[in-house]
Each structure stands twice: as structure tokens, then as C-alpha cells.
A and B are shown apart, each in its own frame.
Chain A
Amino acid sequence: IDYTGTEPSSPCNKCLNVSWDSTAPCNCTINFTLEHSFESNVFMYYGLSNFYQNHRRYVKSRDDSQLNGDNSSLLNPSKECEPYRTNEDKPIAPCGAIANSMFNDTLELFRIENNTRTRITLVKKGIAWWTDKNVKFRNPTGDGNNLTALFQGTTKPVNWPKPVYLLDSEPDNNGFINEDFIVWMRTAALPTFRKLYRLIERKDNLQPTLQAGKYSLDITYNYPVHSFDGRKRMILSTISWMGGKNPFLGIAYITVGSICFFLGVVLLIIHHKYGNRNTSADIPN
């Protein structure tokens, strides 16, 4: 579901020109209908288009040591982070363009049943790779667990409304190990990408996770993409053993298989027709 709001008719059109530093959040709601019910776990993604997360300067604009909890890097981030290395002579944590541009819309899903809106529980943990969560990203270490103290001496990224140690209330999902942050930091390979936002877990075996019907998506619209012609989407999807829905491999296999078969037949005919001629060709000894 595209909620960028480029079309004037879109409810989010009013938010189109939000900027990073606007204090008042812009809210909008989009209603949609699910034709089929989703039986198994549903994954909720946000998708961005025309967003060059794979630009070279963007990709390297981060400091892995800092994100890994290295205290010296925390206060003295790598040069790669320029120009998001320091702000007002204070080191930025997390530094770099990637962190700075973190996606910060809030999406909420409601089921509309007989005009009542039921909030659907969105699980926000378990959306990042285990290795990322546990190895690659670590909060800085020090006395106590008070993140506020640990991030002392650093400043928040320019675009962020709040510092990194206030990303979440739960301590194991806060700071650098906030999963939303981790997901964002895993840069996409292509300019059009989707990232896992939330999980909708199946509660019991009797009911589908999401029944067919009307839903509404509440968006706290913070993330401007209009300036570079970007698009934002919300995707609900289930997953098969082969991963997400992507018809490419299937089509490709069918095509290649047919080509192989066709080629096989052609070559067989050619072999029968010409093959014998050549074996009998005489060679001077």
C-alpha cells in the first residue's frame, strides 16, 4: 500500500512536505481491504523506492566499531561518517548518513469490524538477523546499564528527534541494538527495497492471522521522501519455504527448462543428420 501521498486524493497528501525538524507529527489514516485472509504469520514491511541505500558514499558512511560498542569509536567516530560525524563539536552516535536517515514513520494497523477499530498486535522484536542483533550491534559498555550515561558526550544524529538511547523503552531493544535501527542499518542492495517492520503472529490455529476484511493503517508521517521523488509503501505478506513472494525464479526456471529441452531436440536432430558424415571424413595418416 503506497502511502506516500503524492496524489492529492490521498489522505497522506497533507503530510507530503513534512520535514525532519517539524515538531508536530503529521498523522494520516489509510483504509484498505484484504481480499483473502492470511493464514500463517504475517510480516509487515515498509518499502521505499528510489532510495539509493546502495550508493557508495551512503554504504560506507557508518562506523561499525562504534555500533559494536567500542567506546573510543563512540566518542571519536570514523572519518567515513562525514559529514554526519560530529554536530556542534560533539560526536554523533550513531554516526553516518545511514543512521542519520533512519526510517521513522510509525505504522499502526487496525481491523475495522462493524465500525469498531481493533488494534492488531504488532511484534517489534525478532525482525533482525540474530547475528546482527547479538554480534554486530552492541551498546557501549561501561558502569551500569544506564544507556543515557553510556552515551554521555555524544549527540543525536541531526535528523533524529530523539537520541539513540531513547529509541525504545525496553532495555534489550534500545540503543544500538534497537531492531528497527538494525534493520535500517542493513543497507539494501537495490534502490527499491522493503524492510521488515513488524510481525503479526498467529494467535491460535483456528483463526487466520488476518481475516479478510477491512483494515485501516494509521501512519505517523515523519519521513520525507517527496523531495527526491521517493515512494513509501506498507506491505503485508506471508512467507513460503522459499522466502518471500517472488515469481522471478519460477518463471526463469520454466523458461530455461523449455529452452534446454528445445535445444536438446535440435541438437539431437543435428547430430543425427551431420554427426555421421564427419566421423567418416578421411584424414591423411
Chain B
Amino acid sequence: MSLFGLKFGKKKLKEEERQLQANNRDFNLQFEYANNTIKTSKYNFFTFLPLNLFEQFQRIANAYFLFLLILQLIPQISSLAWFTTVVPLVLVLAVSGVKDAIDDFNRHKSDKHVNNRPVQVLINGMLKDEKWMNVQVGDIIKLENNNFVTADLLLLSSSEPHSLTYIETAELDGETNLKVKQALTVTAELGEDLQKLTEFNGEVRCEAPNNKLDKFTGTLTLRGEKYALDNEKMLLRGCTIRNTEWCFGLVIYAGPDTKLMQNSGKTTFKRTSIDRLMNVLVLVIFAFLGLMCLILAIGNGIWEYNKGYYFQVYLPWAEGVDSASYSGFLMFWSYVIILNTVVPISLYVSVEIIRLGNSFYINWDSKMYYPLSDTPAQARTTTLNEELGQIKYIFSDKTGTLTQNIMCFNKCSINGKSYGDVHDMSGQRIEITENTEKVDFSYNQLADPKFAFYDHSLVEAVKLSDVPTHRFFRLLSLCHTVMPEEKKEGSLVYQAQSPDEGALVTAARNFGFVFRARTPETITVVEMGETKIYKLLAILDFNNVRKRMSVIVQSPEGDLTLYCKGADTILYELLHSSCDSLKEETTEHLNEFAGEGLRTLVVAYKNLDKDYFQDWSKRHHEASTALEGREDKLSELYEEIEKDLMLLGATAIEDKLQDGVPQTIETLAKANIKIWVLTGDKQETAMNIGYSCNLLNDDMDDVFIIEGSTSGDVLNELRNARKKMKPDSFLDSDEINIQFEKSSKNSKVVPDEQANGVYGLVITGHSLAYALEGNLELELVRTACLCKVVICCRVTPLQKAQVVELVKKYKKAVTLAIGDGANDVSMIKTAHIGVGISGQEGMQAVLSSDFSFAQFRYLQRLLLVHGRWSYIRMCKFLKYFFYKNFAFTLVHFWYGFFSGFSAQTVYDEWFITLYNLVYTSLPVLGMSLFDQDVDDRWSMLFPQLYVPGQQNLYFNKVVFVKCMLQGIYSSLILFFIPFGAMYNTMRSDGKAIADYQSFALMAQTCLLIVVSVQIGLDTSYWTVVNQFFIWGSLSVYFAITFTMYSDGMYLIFTASFPFIGTARNTLGQPNVWLAIFLSITLCVLPVVGFRFLKAQLRPTPSDKVLLKIKEAKKRPPPPSPKRRLRRTSTRRSGYAFSHQHGFGALIMSGRNMRPKSPFATTGTFSPNSDKYKHKGL
């Protein structure tokens, strides 16, 4: 696709500016904007064959075999029959072709599904149902509640007041809270009136398609007037309309031009590092092959000159050959054909099969199946398995990946009493499990049935009308900016800007303080069945500095009260001195809550004096209309009133982690995998999650926070952090610095550095933007990689990808990105391996991922078990495969010296054809599908076993050279032992045995038995299948040999099987078997000796682990999985707010209220609404 897409893209001139007119297709057509069709597939029916073949022949191996085929068709050169190459080549091409075809078919299907979604388009004054793909730039379309936004739209009007439209951007950036968009007033007037909408002919000029999600600039020209457009008026593809009955939008960008598609990055074909290594090795082997052929060709030249010339009495030179050098030249190519088996064609096919097999293990793994959502793990890309065993960096999304994205009210402390834990009779705290009895909220008809709470004493307290408890819940039901929605009587749905708030209000609701409705001036609460209407006098809204919010309400009884909730650190300063003792108790509880990773808030109240409030209210009004320094004045006022508060208690909200996340992270950390969390959330939330899932903890020496807002600040912060972690890294004497100076500027690979402790790094999106700029990149990488944990917050999807790219660029490490939302797509695509969590945020992440499953905790199994196994298997496979082909092929090389360098093969042609295809393919496949050094349980218990994979110890160039040497050694043995045994000998009846055919048979039998023994040595996990394959292959060899060399075959196909009788005449001889046995011993001896010595003298850490496991296996089974982690953090955080300003202003202004508030009908922009524009997004 990328190829095609690129071509298309280049044909069109790069768009500078976009110009379009609503309802004017003809006008818009002249610009040839893309329509709303998306295309992710690569081929169509006709282009498949040529394109696919073209792609396949781009692989060196395939091209090479094509070349060989051509060589074999030249009669002077052909030393093997042409079909020996054609058959496997066609097979290989066919298998890969079918696989590609199926993949592409699936892509076509999903494209079609998306392209055919229906949408209402306004055409000629009528709303018509159209398919998504037929939507054009400049069309006006109507969207209804819960619809996906079709393309990037300019919001024209909506059903809500002030043409507000609520959208959820989960697919786009992963945030599930609602965002508000507002149309221009001029367009808002269009309303639902189709007539007006049809006549609407505004002209939009805006920037060319780009991938910046949070930026849009353009102008709308309507009736000669210009209006500025910005991101506030845009609905982007990928969002979902919420809480809005309908809205109309003008299509600005469609299909591939939408910000979502622009953000999704290029589809690049992922290759594993082993793939790349393999390609390099294949080239090395080619060079080696060329060298061998050259030696043999020169040898041939010399031979023909010295001997062949004279030997012409019996063997004249071939036709057309008139000199020794020309003969040598021909012989070079003949030897290329004969020795081509050093790079066997079956290598790539076998590799694919192994990967496919291992992918099936992942798909079938019942331990990675999540029954609750009925999702099994899925290997969507089957070519990356062994890379799973080499992961060094994990980039994880937070929301929906580490967490379930469900907030729930978990504990609270009211008036010095802690609720939430369940105790048994003896007062012992017990774990909450599925079976623990939930609190019965049936007394409250408005309760949310999904809410679960286990501590009965709290309900008791509520029922007993305990005053502080009531006040506590009243506060929760009043002090917030949640919007209620009651579609049916009694079924309340809360729309909260932050899930935390929603959780608190829901909790209050269940305990009998139901927040039911709100108007700009009132809040309706059903208190223990009794409806009360509070007058809302002021909302002192949340912001990042204040870290608290308050409301001032007047109860039906007329009491004025200020309710406040906020971060403990802030609120404790504002408390009245009379609550000191309570403060202490509450602090204790807070510590306890925080230790469990809960998000805490402190709540307090204050009764207000009427006169005082009136005065304050007046000043407040003045301040809020002041033209200068309004913000400062307001916050001064807020501070004035929010003091001497009475402490009520604290709440603890659990940002529910997915099951087993801390354990998984701990295990992965032990496996020396570094975890970076990249989240769109704000810093505090991210850090809080970091603490609760054990990424960050108090044992760390330090956690650096990078939040500089200029390039220089960021640089300083990074440098300081690094100075602390590794003071000598700034000295000129530091190895890495020296290395940098030496190495060229472009290709830098930062080696691993060791910090002097355990550190964490937190960096905000803003600083990250600077840090990702050219000159700071290196600083960032060096500093960040010194840390054990890196958390990036407030990052955009593109930044996520950039961070991954950064590590890929500077670190020679394999990266894995895991996420669940559309905002993770680019990161998933960038990383070596992308893992999608099939969670709540849609399927985009899964669709672009390589592996997918339902729960984060399965990651450890995927990596530590499947990844490791795949890696080990692949390495063993490659080692063995190269070995066996070297041993096989090089025998020809040695024989060349004794056969006049005439490209005479040692073996029977049939043996050459069948060797890789039949005799040795199954045993090695068996090994590489079933082998495992230790079983899954031990793999998980000893994450250290993962480390060799990261360091790529099992297969690299050194290992390859070893295989090669071993192969060369074996081939020497395999040639010279039969040679020695045959030299001038006779059969026991005096007849010939030193003939060519007997020699061939003996050599090939030796070879086959030796490689079978070798695979036996390599296999560490024997299954029936392995045994069957090995013994089966050997017996198949003998069966086929005897059949092919039988009388019958000879009589039928005389020319094809000239080896008649060789098997019978040769294999009956004792000296043949003695020679075979000798070759086996000699081939195996050094291997065994070397392995033994290595295990004894220089065991690798994993050898030690394996040894330990072996010992442990003798003992009773290992202890049951670890007990639940107890976190001992004393850190507290008070965050239960969204990272934006609240809806406060909105509520107070009444803009979003259905019954239109008096001063909102005008539709003019007051300064107040300007303020709103800054606040809401």
C-alpha cells in the first residue's frame, strides 16, 4: 500500500492550503480532495500477482534462486537438473503468496466495513443515507448521539444550547472524559433547518491536512464576513458524539486526509532483528560461496592446464571449451549451483512455518484467554515471535492498559473513622474477594446497581443518621461539576468530566444522597428518600494551582455552607485549628489509603455567615467582571473564603488496576525489561498509577521530574538528573563520551549505561516536545535510559511514536508498545512489536497491533514464556540449519580437490534434492516447534532466564561463525573418513567398493546419521513427535534409498536412478558401518566436549538458573504463586479531578442547561463566555 499510496501522493502537488465551499461539490471537486474512502489494503485483484511477485523477489533469497534457475538452464554450466530448483522455488512463492492474499483480503474486508457505514448527508435539501466512502469534502452531514464522527468536520449546529456538542475522544487520544465543542454563532443559527443548511454557502480556507490533533486554523467566509475557525469548532474523525441528540457538520478533511488517518502513521513492514541478521548472514554466506567457487574455479583452471589437457585422450574438453581458463570460468558457475545449498531455499519457508507454529501456541494458550470478555490472545502478525524473546523496552499506555479505566469509591474516612475494609469476627482484616458479601443498597431505589461496597458499618452509620456521615455524603453529592442525565424515571446517568468525580457522586448516590438534577442556580438532591433543593450560590472551581474546588450552597433550611474537596496537602493548610486531632487520625488513614495506591481527597466544610457571604458575593461579582487581573483577584477571593474549614474526612478512590499488573511489572523488571509509561493523563495521575502499580516506589533513590517549559530548562533538568545518577558521565574520560566524539554524527548507538542507583524519571508532554528536538534527543535518551522507569505524561499520540522511535534509533534494543486506544496506534506501529489490549477503547489498537489479548498481565506470559521459547527455538533452528547445510555442502568442496575440480557432486542427485526437503526438514521443525529448556512455570518463576534473549546471546554473528566452523569440521570428517576407509579397499568378496556410487552412498549415510545425532544433542525437550520425526526421517531415508536403488525403479526409469544395487552391495559391508560409526564419533566428540567444558568452567547465568531448576525439580513443586504485593508507599496524592478546569463556569453560566437561562439566549459573546472558551476544550 505504501508504495501505491506514495505514488498517488506524489502525483498530486503538495497541498498548501485547503479551500472549500459548503454545499458546492462542483467547486470543491476542482481541488481533487480525497473523499472519505480509506484504503489500508495493498493489492487488488489484478495487481496482486505482479506486485506480490515483485515484492517476493525483492527478498534476496528468492532473487538468488531465480538466478540459480537461470544458471541451471545453461547446458555448459548445469551441474544439477533444473527441477531441483524450480520445485522448491515455486512452492515457496506459492505459500507466501497465498498468505499475503489472505492477509490482504482481510484488510479489504475491514476497509469495506468502515467505508460502508451509513451517514446522513444533506443533498439538495434532503437528508439522504449515504455510505461513509461517498462523503465528499464540503458536504454537510448530520450526526446523532453515539455516532462515530465520519470525517473531520466543522461543527455547524447542534441540538444542545449554544450549539454545544459533547464528544468522546477515546479513539483519538484515549481520554474517556467528555469534551465540549461549540459552533460559531453564525452557523449555530442554522439549527436544524434543512432549508437554511442547504442555502449555507460558507467558504472555508484552512491549512492543509496535517496530523496535529490539537491545532486547526482557518477562516470561514460567509456573506462577505470572515470568521476565525479554530480547533474548538472541529469534530475529528474517530470521536464519538455523546449527550447530543444531533449536530450538523461541514466536511473539511475526508478519508486519508483526516487527522486520525494522518496520525496513524505509515504501515511499515516489521522485520525482526533475527530477520535482519539472517539477511546479513545470507550475504556473508554468498560471499563465502563466491570465495569457495573462486578457489575451485582457479583449481579447475590449473587442473585442466596441468592434467586435463593431457587427459584428453580419454576425456576431451567439452565443446566450445578451448582453454583451461574458460573451463575454470564455467566451472565457477557450476560450483555456484552445486554449493548453493549452503543457503537453502527451505530456510525461509521453515522460518515462516516455525513462526506460524509458535503463533498458534499463543492463540491456543488457555492461560492467556480472558473468559470474562471471551477474548483469547491473538498473534495477528505471525512473523515477529522470536522478537518477543528479546524485548528490552516496553512502552505502555496507562489508561485501559495498566488500569481498567474504572474509578471506584473504595474507602473513606469520616470523622476519624475509616470505612471500607472488611473485618472478620476477630477484627482481622480480610481480603476482598468475589465472594465477599456486598453491601445491600436496596433501601435506596436510585442506587446504581453496579456499585459495590463491602463495609457494612458505613451503611449502618448512614442509616443511623450519623451527622458527620450525612454531611460527608451530602458534600459528595453537592460539591462537583457532574451533569446528571435522567432519561427514564429512576435511571440516572452521570456525565462527569473526570471519572473520579463520577465515582464520588455515584458513591454518595448509593448511600442515599442522590444527586438528581441541577440548574444553574440549584442542585436537586434526594437525601435518604427526601428531595431537597439546594441553592447553588457559587462554584469555586478547580484548577491546577488551587488543587481544590468548593461550592457554596444554601440549604432548603436557609443555612449557607461551603463545601470543599481537594488535595490533602492544600486542604490541611486551610483547616480550622479545632480539627487538629481529627487531622491526625485522618492523616493516618490517608497514609493507609495512599499506601494501597488509592487516589485520595480530603473533604471539608464550613458554615458561612450570611452577611459575610453577601459581602463576599458582591466582591466576587466585581472581581469576575473586572477587566484587569481578573484571575488573580478571583483566586484571592477564593482563598479568603476557603479557610478555617472543618475537616470531614477523606475519600479514597481506586483507579482500578487490571488484575496482576503490579506482579507483572515486578516480574518484567526482574527480567531486565525497562518499562516506560506514556500516557495522555496528567502528571499526578500518571505518577499515582506509577506508584500503585509498583513502577515507582519509595525504595527508589530519586524520581526526577522534568517539566521545564523551555529548551534550556529541559536540558538543565536532564543534565542534573544524569549528573546525579552517574556523575562521571560528564567527564571527558567517560567511555561513552569518547565514543561519541569518535563516531560519526549520524549513526549513534548509545550503549547501555549503569546508574548508581534505582531512579525514576517523569517528564511532561510539554518538556518532551523540547526534549525530542534534535539536539536534546541524545540527552533525553541517555538520561532516560539510566532510569529504571520513565513516565511521560500529557503526550500526544505522535509523541508516543516519537519516543519509541527515539529509543529505536539510539538503542540497539527491541521495543514493545502496548496500548488499547486509538491514541496508541502510532506507537504500536512504530515499535518493533505492538501489542493491543482488546479493552474498552475500541478496536483500533488491536487492529494495528501484532499481538493482542485482553489483560495486561498476559504480557508476562507472552514475553517470558512464548517469547522466550520462540526465541530459543528460532536460534536453535538457525544454528542447526546452518550447521547441517554447511556439513552437507562443503563435502563437495573437498571432493573437488579429488575430482579434477569438475563440479562432480559427492552425493546422488536425488539425495541432494531430498536432503533439505525430506530427510532433515521434519526433525528440525520438530525441534523448533516443541523444544523448551524449561517449562512455562519455571520460565515465569525465573525471569532472569529472559536476559540472554535481550542480549541476543543465542544467535549472533559469533554463534554463526561457530556453526560454520562446526559445519566445516563435520564436512571434513564426513569426507575424509569415507575417503580413508574407501581408499584402495575392496569388499569382503573382493569386488569393487571404492567406486563412486558406493562412496556417495557411504558419505550421504554418514552425513544423515551425523546430523540426526546432532539434532538429538540439540534437543533438550523430547516429545513423542521429536522421536518420531528423527527416527522416522532416518527410516524414510533408508526406505527411499533402497527403493530408489532397487531393480524395479531402475528398469522403469533407467536414466533417473543409476545407483541401482549400490545400497544392497555397500551397506552390507562391515567396514562401511565402522566408518560411519567413526565419523559420528568424531563429529560429536568436540561438540560434547566443548559443551561440557563450557558448562563446567564458564556457566552463563542462565545455565546456573537451569541447574538450580533441575535441582528444584527433584524437590517438591515450587511454592504457589507469590502472595499479593503489599505496597508500603507513604506517598499521598490528592487527585480526583480532571486535568482541565472544571465545568464550573459552564454550570454557573448555565450555558449547558436545557431550560435556557435568561442571560444565555442572546447568543452574543460576553466576556464570561470568552473565559469559557479558554477553559473548556
Contact = CB atoms under 8 A, between A and B. Distances in A.
B1101 A244 contact: no
B1054 A190 contact: no
Interface in B1042-1074: 1047, 1050-1051, 1054-1055, 1058, 1060-1061, 1064-1065, 1069-1071, 1074
A272 to B, nearest CB: 10
A275 B316 contact: no
A13 interface: no
Interface string B995-1036: 111111000000000000000000000000000000000000
Contact of B1069 (A82, A97, A191, A243): A243
Contacts of B972: none
A194 B1051 CA distance: 29
A256 B1078 contact: yes
Interface string B456-495: 0000000000000000000000000000000000000000
Interface string A196-217: 1001000000000000000000
A41 B986 CA distance: 14
Contacts of A256: 1078, 1081-1082, 1085
Contact of A278 (B313, B319, B1058, B1107): B1107
B1096 A237 contact: no
Mostly, the A contact residues are mixed
B318 interface: yes
Interface stretch (A28-36, A109-117, A139-147, A263-271): A263-271
Given A186-B992, A260-B1081, A275-B1096, A57 B1069 contact: no
A183 B944 contact: no
B1054 to A, nearest CB: 5
A41 B902 CA distance: 38
A248 B985 CA distance: 10
A224 B314 CA distance: 10
Given A54-B899, A56-B903, A188 B983 contact: no
A6 interface: no
Nearest to A241: B988
B209 interface: no
B735 to A, nearest CB: 27
Nearest to A245: B985
Given A56-B904, A58-B315, A246 B1061 contact: no
A245 B986 CA distance: 8
A252 B982 CA distance: 13
B996 A127 contact: no
A43 B991 CA distance: 9
Contacts of A188: 992, 994-996
Given A188-B996, A246-B985, A260-B1085, A57 B315 contact: yes
Interface stretch (B229-237, B603-611, B767-775, B973-981): B973-981
Nearest to A244: B986
A131 B1058 CA distance: 12
Given A249-B980, A263-B1085, A187 B1051 contact: no
Contact of B319 (A20, A56, A83): A83
Which of B984, B1058, B1074, B1101 has the most chain A CB atoms inside 10 A of its CB?
B984
B290 interface: no
Contacts of A274: 1096-1097
Contacts of A281: 1099, 1104
B1036 to A, nearest CB: 23
Interface residues of B, number: 76
Contacts of B997: 186-187
A240 to B, nearest CB: 7
A70 B1065 CA distance: 25
Given A129-B1065, A190-B898, A283-B1104, A64 B992 contact: no
B218 interface: no
A23 interface: no
A194 B994 contact: yes
Contacts of A183: 992
Contacts of A37: none
A50 interface: yes
A65 B1055 contact: yes
A24 interface: no
A270 B992 contact: no
Contacts of A263: 1085, 1089
Interface residues of A, number: 79
A52 interface: yes
A168 interface: no
Interface in B888-916: 898-900, 902-905
A129 B991 contact: yes
B999 A135 contact: no
Contacts of A243: 985-988, 993, 1069-1071
Nearest to A229: B310
Contacts of A220: none
A70 B1050 CA distance: 12
B988 A240 contact: yes
B990 interface: yes
B682 to A, nearest CB: 37
Contacts of B1159: none
B996 A97 contact: no
Contacts of B1095: 278
A86 interface: no
A68 B1060 CA distance: 12
Given A135-B1050, A136-B1061, A249-B981, A193 B994 contact: yes
Contacts of B215: none
Contact of A189 (B307, B982, B990): B982
A132 interface: yes
A56 B79 contact: yes
Given A243-B986, A253-B1074, A186 B1097 contact: no
Contact of B902 (A57, A192, A227): A57
A4 interface: no
A192 B998 CA distance: 15
A53 interface: yes
A270 B1097 contact: yes
Given A70-B1054, A256-B1082, A260-B1081, A131 B1065 contact: yes
A270 B987 CA distance: 44
Contacts of B988: 239-243
Contacts of B989: 239
Contacts of A248: 980-981, 983
A279 interface: yes
A228 to B, nearest CB: 4
A196 B1065 contact: no
Contacts of B1099: 278, 281
B1105 interface: yes
A245 B1096 CA distance: 43
B91 interface: no
Contacts of A237: 986, 990
B364 interface: no
Interface in A62-106: 63-65, 68, 70, 78, 82-83, 97, 100-101
A267 B1074 contact: no
B316 A83 contact: yes
B307 A228 contact: yes
A131 B1064 contact: yes
A190 B1054 CA distance: 25
Contacts of B313: 20, 101, 224, 227-228
B900 A191 contact: yes
B1061 A132 contact: yes
Contacts of A119: none
A122 interface: no
Nearest to B997: A186
Contacts of A167: none
Q: Ordered nearest first, which 3 A-B pairs have the shortest CB separation? A: A131-B1061, A244-B986, A189-B999
9 contacts: A43-B990, A189-B995, A190-B999, A224-B313, A229-B307, A246-B981, A256-B1085, A267-B1089, A267-B1092
Given A51-B314, A193-B994, 8 more contacts: A54-B900, A56-B899, A136-B1050, A244-B986, A256-B1082, A278-B1095, A279-B1107, A283-B1108
